Amino acid sequence: MSDQNVHNAGFTPSGISAGSLASSMMSHEARASGGGVPSGGPTSTLQGMGARGTTHSSGFTSSGISGNSTASHMMSQEARAHGGGTPRGGTTSTVQSIAMGGKGGR
């Protein structure tokens, strides 16, 4: 179900859907970073997964983050960089929220 949730949010194999949560996230991120969407951020990560349909296989599942997965590695790196926790609105929390059918951490 997590790949479908990502597609439902507007991250699709053909790109970001106009008027979707994905387009809103992209706009917000672009404004915050001076006009571009940063590589490795929530929008670019989700779009890559939406294009390939790899959310679940990356470890972002509807049940949570799978142990010993790409997702758990991302979460660990992000937590170390932020003093022990993953920040709300960060890549890991946003991707996991959307994979579970939420609206991200924004």
- Domain range for 5 is 1-100
Q: Tell me the backbone φ, ψ of residue 44, rounded to 5 degrees.
A: -65, -35
Terminal Cα distance for the chain, rounded: 22
- Whether 105 is in a domain gets the answer no
pLDDT at 47: 93
Q: How many CB atoms lie within 10 A of CB 89?
A: 16
Tell me how many degrees the CA angle 16-18-24 measures, rounded to the nearest 5: 80
Q: How many domains does the chain have?
A: 1
pLDDT at 2: 79
Residues 40-74: pLDDT tens digits? 888 999 999 889 888 878 898 888 899 999 999 99
- Whether 18 is in a domain gets the answer yes
Residues 75-91: pLDDT tens digits? 999 999 999 888 888 88
Residue where the block lists tokens 């924004």: 106
- Whether 63 is in a domain gets the answer yes
